[in-house]
């Protein structure tokens, strides 16, 4: 099952990647944040592959990286260890007992369980790799 199947609103990602989104291995984590409303965990990261047919606006701007922010609402539990300024992690979503997310790298580990997950932001930018 693709990770987008667990999203409450997969339409934007599915349209951008023509229903074939990249897996979430080796994503660059930009932000992990917690909000009391919900309570909610937000996880913002770069997707590991650029779409074959990106929106014309992204082409005109010469964007080369897609960034997604996932919001996990009804947060039930969270565990976080390690962090840093350059995190490349493998992210996995499963749907057992709500929505589970894990993000792991040698120096970073996140594990959380929530009621729902949705895309709160989908954007692109020019990454000067």
pLDDT, residue 129, reads 65
Q: Is the pLDDT of residue 85 over 90?
A: no
Q: Is the pLDDT of residue 84 over 90?
A: no
Q: Which two tokens stand for residue 41?
A: 């965990």
Average pLDDT, the chain: 95
pTM for this model (two decimals)? 0.94
Domain that holds residue 95: 3-125
- Higher pLDDT residue, 25 or 1? 25
Burial of 48 (C-beta count, 10 Å sphere; 0-12/13-18/19+): middle
Question: How many domains does one find in the chain?
Answer: 1
96 band by pLDDT with thresholds 50, 70 and 90: confident
Average pLDDT of the residues in 82-94: 92
Average pLDDT of the residues in 22-36: 96
**Rounded Cα–Cα distance for residues 28 and 38 (Å):** 25
Average pLDDT of the residues in 42-66: 96
């Amino acid at each position: 099952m693709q990770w987008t199947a667990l999203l409450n609103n997969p339409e934007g990602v599915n349209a951008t990647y023509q229903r074939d989104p990249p897996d979430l291995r080796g994503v660059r984590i930009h932000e992990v944040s917690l909000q009391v409303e919900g309570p909610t965990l937000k996880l913002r990261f770069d997707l590991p592959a650029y779409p074959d047919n990106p929106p014309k606006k992204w082409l005109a701007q010469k964007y080369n990286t897609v960034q997604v922010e996932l919001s996990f609402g009804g947060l039930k539990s969270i565990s976080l260890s390690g962090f840093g300024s350059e995190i490349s992690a493998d992210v996995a979503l499963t749907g057992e007992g709500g929505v589970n997310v894990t993000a792991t790298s040698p120096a970073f580990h996140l594990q959380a369980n929530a009621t729902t997950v949705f895309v709160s932001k989908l954007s692109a930018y020019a990454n000067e790799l």
